[in-house]
Every structure is written in structure tokens, then in C-alpha cells.
Amino acid sequence: MIPVWLLTTLHYISMGSGVAILVLLVWQPLSSSFALMRRVR
Amino acid sequence: MPFADRAIELSMLAAYLAVLLWIGIRSARQVQSSGDYTLAGRDVPWVVVLATTAASMIGGGASVGMVSQVCQFGIVAAVVTCAWHLQLIFTGLFVAPKLRGLNLITVGDYFHLKFGPLARELAVVNCVIFLVGALAAQMAAIGTVTNTVLGVPYGMALLIGATVTIFYSTVGGIRAVVSTDVLQFVILVIGIGTASMLLVSSHGGFAAMQAAASEGHFQITSHWSAMELFSLFFAFMLGETFVPPYAVRCFIAKDKQHAKWGVAGGGVFLLLFLPIATFILGTSAQINPEVQAAIENEQQQLLDEAADTGKALTEEDAQKQAYQVAFPTLVRVTFHPVFAGVMIAAIIAAVMSSADSCLSCLATVVMEDAYRRHIDPLATDKHLLRVAQASTLILGSTGAVCAWYFSNVADILVFVYDFWAPTMVLPFIIAVFWYHESRVYAVVASMIVGAIAAIVWRFGLDSPGDVGPALFGFAAALLAFIVALPLTSSLRRGWLFCPCSDSSEKDPT
């Protein structure tokens, strides 16, 4: 039987990884745009 | 279901399909060469490689299929899916940098480089069998999933879903496929993540869910034997290892590091995110009385239909099919219609993102391994681009027609997996970890023996003793390699077995 605390921890990790990847997906094009703007200046 | 709720769900789906078409048209403007069309200009950053790899991985089987399996069998079904994600991590860490570093276009190029022209042709045949089967299966899944989820007739669902997928893949190539994959990935993560969080909270945590679930649901092997679990885990792992859609994700990355962390990151993310999320959804479906009533109702309907039409359908098969309604019913009875609409779009997104990957890979194989190699080696880049676009259109339409006639997704996929593992996995492992030119004959022998063994085991002997053709064929290929190695290592190689490549000269990017 899988302990409840383990499932709860795994669920928090799962949600954290979901949020992290969505933030990364937004950050990636933004950081490229910032880098391009710096180069243009 | 109330008319207003159905209207909301259908409008969400229509809006989603319209966005896909817009992405296809937008991506078409960026396609200037065959390299843009088939390799996205090899400039895809790792986080986008991660998203597109994960979106391709999550098809109909890993979403609707796995939730229904967890609902039926318990946590064991979620544990088994870890095999898919582990093979992605392995591929990313050890294989992706090597594949990307060689500037290749197809899996056939890699086999040519390592084992010569005959191995290349064998690999191309395997890739075509895998991709045609997987494309037909995912096209069929578009029809069956939309039919199950929204009640739209199978033929109509297939026509609309396949038309949209073929359109954006044809006009925008891999650029459109990657862009739509990112959208599909975001919808999936937001949809499945939010749903699992709300469900755990509404049930009062895992302890309350455990108390309400059936006996054995939270046990790691549920009602399965350890051997059964191991065999299935191994079959899942072998069946998807190094398949062309993942190889293409290595080829399109910016450089070796982007390929490595994109593909391995996709595996790590899926391992952390998907098994626990599908477990929560499947368990919630099991303890929800309305979902259980819907499953029983569906099972009865299937049995009645079979009795009316004279079709042979066992109670066990009817139950298995009926469990497919678990996920959509759970979404409908638990959430607000707007969020249910998002979730339903997420389910259909999962299937479409797997179908478009297969279609794009197949067009690349036709352009590179068939047309440029055997028909017109001096073709201009513009001409090759037209060939790739025409191939996407023709092959996509053929896949849809196949899906019309063969709608049983599971059967098509099992056949495809059975054939891939025995012939392709061992040569890949040897090429990456233990390569030497003196082993070329032994590798080619293992490919031929693996293919014959899998075919005889499946069609001649009907897979005796519950050992799958993939496992048997892989073991036969390994044995053939071990036997052939000492006998062939000192032989002089003919041109068919001469490792060589012109890939660096023909890199279209």
C-alpha cells in the first residue's frame, strides 16, 4: 500500500513542475526578446 | 446532458480548432526551405523541445486510456506508464546529443552512417510501418475520442479532426506541428493539473480517497502478479524507445545541449506530472457514483447494440470499452461547463498532437529516404519542399481513410509496437554504446532475425505463454547478434554493409 504522505508529496511535486514548466515556456520567448532589444540598443 | 452545456463544449472545441488553423497559416509564412519544413530550421530551444516531446507522448492512450485503466485496475496502471517517461529520459541523456551532433535528417540516415545501406533500408521500412500504423491509430483515436467525449458520430469527428490536422501539417510542416504542440501542451498541463488539484481538494485529501476506493486500488501491484507487471513495464518501455517522432525532436533542437535537455526534460516532467495526475483522475472516477452509473449504462448499451447487430462482444470487452467514458463523464459531472469544455479540448488536443507528429515524420521519410535517395538525388530544395508538402497531404488523407476502415486503435498500436522493438532497439543501443565497424553484419542479422521472429511468434504461433511478440522478437534479435558476432566480425564487408554518410553535405538547414 502506498502511504498517503508519499502521494501527497508526489502531488505537490507534480503541481510544482506543471507551474514551473508553464513559467519557463512564457519566460523563454520573453528573455529572447529582451536579449534582442539589448543587442539593437 | 443539457443543451447549453453541450453548446459550451462544442464552442470551446470549435474555438480551439480555429486557433490550430490560424497557427498553421502563420507557420506557413516562416517556411522558406525543406529544412524549415522538416526540421524547423534546427533552431528550436530546449523548453519548446520539451513541450513538443511531451505533447507527442501524451496521446489518446496516455490520457483517456490511462484514466480508464486506473479507474478499472488501480494505481498499477499509472505505475506502468512510468516506463514511457523513463525511456524518454534515457533517450534524452544518452542518445539525443549524439543524434543532434551528426546533423541528420531521418533515423535512416543514422543507420546508414553506422551500419551501411542495407541497414538503412531495413530501418526505413520499419519507420514507415511504425509511422503508418501510429498515424492510422491516432487518426482513429481522433474519431473515437471525440465520439466518446462529445457524442459526435465517428465519421464526422474523424473528418473534422483529420482535416484540421492535415491542413496545418501540410501548410506549416514541423514548424506548425511544434507550435500547435506547445499550445496543446499548455492546455493539457493547465487542464489536467487544475482538475487533479480540484479533485483532491473536493474529496478531502488522499486519505479520504483511499477510504472510498475499492480494495487494492492503492496497492502498487493492485491485483496483478509481479511478473505480469514487469512484462508490461518492459513492453511499454521497448515499444516507444527511439521511435521517429522522438528522434525528430532531437534533430530539430538548436544544438546538442538543447536536444539533450529538451528530450530528457520532457521525460522528467512527464514522470513527475502525469502518473500522479492520471491516478487522481482515475481514482476520482472510481469513487464517483455518477461516473460508475455512466460506465454501467455504457456497458449495457454496448451489449444491447452487439445483440441487435449480431456482433460478437464479450462482457469483458464491453466493460473495457465502457470504461473509456470515465474521464469525460468525470469532467462533466464535477466541473463547471466552461472548465469541462477546456478539459475536453485538452483530451482532443492530446490525440491530435500525436497524430500530427507521425504525419510530419512520415512526410520527412518519404522526402528524404525515398524521393531524394531513390527518385531524384539532384532535386532542388524548392522541389523537395513541394514533395514534402504533397506527401503530408496524401499520407494524411490515406491515414484518415485507413482510420475509417480500421477503428480499433489498440489493435493497430499493439501491432506497430510488436514490430518496432525487435528490429530497431538493439541496433540503436549498439550504435550508441558499443559501436565498431566489425559488428555491422551481426547487427543486420539481428534486425532480420528480430523481424522474422516477431512475425512468426505473432501470426504463426499466436503468441503462446502470454509472452508478447515484442519481447520474444527482441530476445531473438539479441541471440542472433550474440551468435553472429564471432562468426562475422572478421569478414570483409561488401558495399551494402559499408558504414558511410553524406548527411553533412546534404543538411538542408
Q: At what angle do helices B256-287 and B244-251 cross, to 10 degrees?
A: 140
Indicate whether B110 pLDDT > 90: yes
Is residue B87 within 8 Å of residue B263, measured between CB atoms?
no
Residue B381 to residue B506: CA distance in whole angstroms: 10
Nearest Cα of chain B lies from the Cα of A41 at a distance, in angstroms, of 24
Does residue B70 surpass a pLDDT of 80? yes
pLDDT at residue B145, as a whole number: 80
CA–CA gap between residue B280 and residue B270 (Å, rounded): 15
- The whole-number pLDDT of residue B482 equals 95
Q: Kindly tell me the sign of the dihedral angle through the C-alpha atoms of B119, B436, B261, B240.
A: positive
Residue A11 has what pLDDT?
A: 95
Which residue of A9, A11, A28 is the best one to mutate when testing the B interface, meaning the one whose CB has the most B CBs within 10 A?
A11
Helix, strand, or coil (residue B41) = helix
**In terms of Cα–Cα distance, which of B494, B423, B446, B464 is closest to B125?**
B423
Which residue on chain A is closest to B217 by alpha carbon?
Answer: A1
Residue of chain B nearest A24, judged by CA positions = B47
- Where helices occur in B205-254 by DSSP H, the ranges are 206-212, 226-240, 244-251
Comparison of pLDDT for B139 and B258, the residue scoring more = B258
Q: Is the pLDDT of residue B395 over 90?
A: yes
Q: How many CB atoms lie within 10 A of CB A6?
A: 11
CATH 1.20.1730.10 fits B3-291+333-410, yes or no: yes
For the cut 50, the answer to whether the pLDDT of residue A33 exceeds it is: yes
- Buried b / exposed e over B364-386, threshold 16 CB at 10 Å, is bbbbbbebbbeeeeebeeeebbe
Place of cell 489536467: B192
- pLDDT higher than 50, residue B181: yes
Residue B503: its pLDDT value, please? 46
Instruction: For B89-102, write each residue's pLDDT tens digit.
Output: 999 999 999 999 99
* Average pLDDT taken over every residue of chain A: 86
Q: Residue B326's closest CA among B142, B79, B70?
A: B70
Question: What pLDDT does residue B361 have?
Answer: 94
Looking at residue B438, its pLDDT comes to 87
CB B328 within 8 A of CB B357: no
Q: pLDDT value at position B154?
A: 85
Comparison of pLDDT for B198 and B6, the residue scoring more: B198
What is the spatial distance between Cα B100 and Cα B90, in angstroms, rounded to a whole number?
15
Which residues of chain A are within 8 Å of residue B273 when distances are taken between CB atoms? 14, 17-18
- For residue B389, the distance in angstroms to the closest alpha carbon of chain A comes to 28
Q: B186–A25: do the CB atoms touch at under 8 Å?
A: yes
Across chain B, mean pLDDT equals 87
For residue B272, give the nearest of A17, A22, A24 by CB distance.
A17
Other CB atoms within a 10 A radius of the CB of residue B409 amount to 24
> Half-sphere exposure of residue B231, counting CA atoms within 13 Å on the CB side?
13
Chain A touched by B494 (CB under 8 Å): no
A14: nearest CA in chain B?
B273
Residue B211 contacts A, CB cutoff 8 Å: no
Q: What is the pLDDT of residue B353?
A: 83
Counting residues of chain B whose pLDDT is more than 90, the rounded percentage is 49
Beta carbons of B200 and A11 less than 8 Å apart: yes
Q: How far apart are CA B234 and CA B214, in angstroms?
A: 27
CB B417 within 8 A of CB B470: yes
Name the residue among A7, A19, A21 with its Cβ closest to that of B206: A7
B495 pLDDT more than 80: no
How far apart are the CA of A21 and the nearest CA of chain B, in angstroms?
8
Is residue B88 within 8 A of residue B57, CB to CB? The reply is yes
List pLDDT tens digits, range B317-348: 888 888 888 888 888 888 888 888 888 887 88
Q: Say if the Cβ atoms of B196 and A11 lie within 8 Å.
A: yes
Using an 8 Å CB-CB cutoff, list chain A residues near B280. Answer: 11
State percent of chain B over pLDDT 70. 97
Give residue B359's pLDDT band: very low, low, confident or very high (50, 70, 90).
very high
The answer on pLDDT for B483 being more than 50 is yes
* φ/ψ bin of B335: left (φ > 0), alpha (ψ from -120 to 50), beta (otherwise): beta
pLDDT (average), residues B152-169: 90
Average pLDDT over residues B442-458: 93
Pick the residue of B44, B46, B47, B183 with the most A CBs within 10 A to test the interface with A by mutation: B47
B188-205 pLDDT per residue, tens:
899 899 999 999 999 999
Residue B283 has pLDDT above 50, yes or no: yes
Say yes or no to pLDDT of B502 above 60.
Answer: no
Which is more confident, B167 or B328?
A: B167
Query: Interior CA angle at B224 toward B220 and B230, to 5°?
Result: 80
Longest C-alpha distance within chain A, in Å? 60
What is the C-alpha separation between B472 and B151, in angstroms, rounded? Answer: 40
Q: What is the mean pLDDT of residues B215-239?
A: 79
**What DSSP element (H or E) covers B288?**
none
More confident residue, B131 or B464: B131
Identify all chain A residues contacting B51, using CB atoms and an 8 Å cutoff. 21, 25
For residue B105, what pLDDT is reported? 92
- At B194, list the grid cell: 487544475
For residue B108, pLDDT beyond 80: yes
**Among B206, B210, B276, whose Cβ lies nearest the Cβ of A14?**
B276
CB atoms within 10 A of CB B454: 27
CB B99 within 8 A of CB B251: yes
Q: Please check the confidence at residue B505 and state whether its pLDDT lies above 60.
A: no
- Per residue in B363-386, pLDDT tens? 999 999 999 999 999 999 999 999
Task: Say how far apart CA B139 and CA B162 lie, in whole Å.
Answer: 7
Query: What CA–CA distance (Å, rounded) separates B162 from B395?
Result: 11
Residues of A in contact with B272 (CB under 8 A): 10, 13-14, 17
All cell numbers assigned to B118: 542495407
Q: Is B178 on the interface with A (CB under 8 A)?
A: no
A25-29, B433-437, B450-454 — which one is most confidently predicted on average?
Answer: B450-454
Domain map (residue ranges) of chain B: 3-291+333-410
What pLDDT score does B58 carry? 86
**Separation between Cα atoms, residue B488 and residue B479, nearest integer Å:** 14
Count the helix, strand and coil residues of chain A and give each as a percent rounded to the nearest 5. 90, 0, 10
Q: What is the pLDDT of residue B407?
A: 65
**Model pLDDT, residue B200:** 94
Q: What is the pLDDT of residue B250?
A: 94
